[in-house]
Amino acid sequence: MVFTHTLFKSDKVKFERGPDDYRLVKCTATIQSGTLLLMEHCYVTSDIYRIANVIKYSSALFDNLYPRSSRVWNESSLNDAELEELCVEKAQKNMFEIGSNYVLGLEVSVFNHSSSPNAMVWDFSVDVQLEVPVLIMSIIAIRDMEVDDEVTIWYGSGYFGETKDVVLEPPSARIRDSIAAIVHQYLTEQMCKTGELPHPAGARAISCKTGELPHPEGARAISCKTGELPHPAGARAISWKDIALDHICVFYGLYVINEKVNCVTPRFVEYFEAEFQKEFRSMHVFEWIDQKLHVLSNCTFCR
Contact 102, 51 (CB under 8 A): yes
pLDDT confidence bin for 238, thresholds 50/70/90: confident
Q: Looking at 207, 230, 255, which one is the last position of a domain?
A: 207
Q: How many domains does the chain have?
A: 2
* pLDDT average, residue stretch 107-125: 94
Range of the domain at 154: 5-207
pLDDT in tens, 91-104: 999 999 998 999 99
Residues 159 and 29 in one domain: yes
pLDDT in tens, 176-198: 999 999 999 898 874 333 333 33
Q: How many angstroms separate the CA atoms of 213 and 197, rounded?
A: 10
Residues 202 and 246 in one domain: no
The more confidently predicted of residues 19 and 211 is 19
Which region, left, alpha or beta, applies to residue 212 given φ > 0 means left and ψ of -120 to 50 means alpha? beta
Q: Looking at 207, 232, 251, which one is the last position of a domain?
A: 207
Residues 195 and 246 in one domain: no
User: Of 27, 244, 19, which Cα lies nearest the Cα of 151?
Assistant: 27
Residues 201 and 292 in one domain: no
Q: How many angstroms separate the CA atoms of 176 and 151, rounded?
A: 20
Contact 120, 154 (CB under 8 A): yes
What's the pLDDT score for residue 162?
65
What's the pLDDT score for residue 221?
36
What's the pLDDT score for residue 160?
61
Residues 69 and 126 in one domain: yes
pLDDT tops 60 at residue 123: yes
In a domain, 124, yes or no: yes
In a domain, 28, yes or no: yes
Residues 249 and 126 in one domain: no
Tell me the residue ranges of DSSP E strands in the chain.
5-9, 13-17, 23-27, 36-45, 96-98, 101-104, 112-113, 119-126, 134-141, 152-153, 196-197, 206-207, 254-257, 260-264
Q: Looking at 182, 207, 232, which one is the last position of a domain?
A: 207
Residues 16 and 165 in one domain: yes
pLDDT tops 90 at residue 124: yes
Residues 178 and 272 in one domain: no
pLDDT in tens, 259-273: 788 889 999 999 999
What's the one-letter identity of residue 64? N
In a domain, 79, yes or no: yes
pLDDT in tens, 6-62: 999 999 999 999 888 899 999 999 999 999 999 999 999 999 889 999 999 999 999
In a domain, 185, yes or no: yes
Residues 169 and 268 in one domain: no
In a domain, 230, yes or no: no
The more confidently predicted of residues 156 and 8 is 8
Which residues on neighbouring strands pair with residue 122, listed in sequence order? Answer: 138
What's the pLDDT score for residue 262?
81
The more confidently predicted of residues 193 and 141 is 141
In a domain, 213, yes or no: no
Residues 200 and 256 in one domain: no
In a domain, 11, yes or no: yes
In a domain, 235, yes or no: no
pLDDT confidence bin for 165, thresholds 50/70/90: confident
CATH number of the domain that 84 lies in?
2.170.270.10
State the Cα torsion 53-101-131-104 to the nearest 10°. Answer: -50
List the end-to-end C-alpha distance of the chain, in Å, as a whole number.
Answer: 24
Residues 111 and 159 in one domain: yes
Percent of the chain at pLDDT > 70 equals 80
pLDDT in tens, 60-92: 999 999 998 777 888 777 878 888 899 999 999
Residues 97 and 17 in one domain: yes
* pLDDT average, residue stretch 213-241: 45
